[in-house]
Chain A
């Protein structure tokens, strides 16, 4: 079964740091681009970051640029999100999601983890 499981969420003070992990299983992790998507309490979905299959390219939503870093270890089938200088508005459930895309097509985010909750508060 193709599966993603996030971990590393928790309560952190404003200005603090947190590292999220996403463990993949059941598929060849290193052949897929991956995304982080978040959802603030009672709000909609917001794309946060994307990383290419080999980690060579990373993209971020403007609100996290310079604060968040997405990385991956294909040997460990793992995706990471290092979050620094956290703010109250970063409070959300963070999901990792597999992207099904190629050079000339995009077919959506087809596998999602259950999410991990980040709460930024003093």
Chain B
């Protein structure tokens, strides 16, 4: 089964910083890679789907890129409401459907 490894596992940043989170797949995959934001005690929220498509209503400071085994979530200018944990997630249909989440990246205030 494909495994997703996020790096870093946590980071400290200041408001206004540019933040980049990486998600690496154990084997090449389709672009069905999504990014979610989760705040404490809340359900995850879809930010980016299909590796680079911004979900409706999500601020444009969030962007996604990548293909194959390496994917990136970038926050261009970190805002106070962006302090949260971020997860990548992939769907793979071959040889049989599987859904996998990365272990998460916690973004904390410096």
Contacts and interface: CB of A to CB of B under 8 A. Distances in A.
Given A45-B87, A101-B91, A108 B44 contact: no
Interface in B22-74: 30, 32, 34, 36, 38, 42-46, 49-50, 53, 55
Interface stretch (A24-32, A64-72, A111-119): A111-119
Report the contact-size class of chain B (Cβ under 8 Å from the partner): 20 to 34
Interface of B: 30, 32, 34, 36, 38, 42-46, 49-50, 53, 55, 87, 89, 91, 93, 96-104
Contacts of B93: 106
Leading 6 A-B pairs by shortest Cβ distance: A112-B43, A108-B34, A108-B49, A47-B99, A106-B32, A106-B91
Given A50-B99, A108-B55, A44 B32 contact: no
A19 interface: no
Interface string A86-119: 0000000001010011000111111011110000
Nearest to B53: A107
Contact of A112 (B45, B50, B55, B87): B45
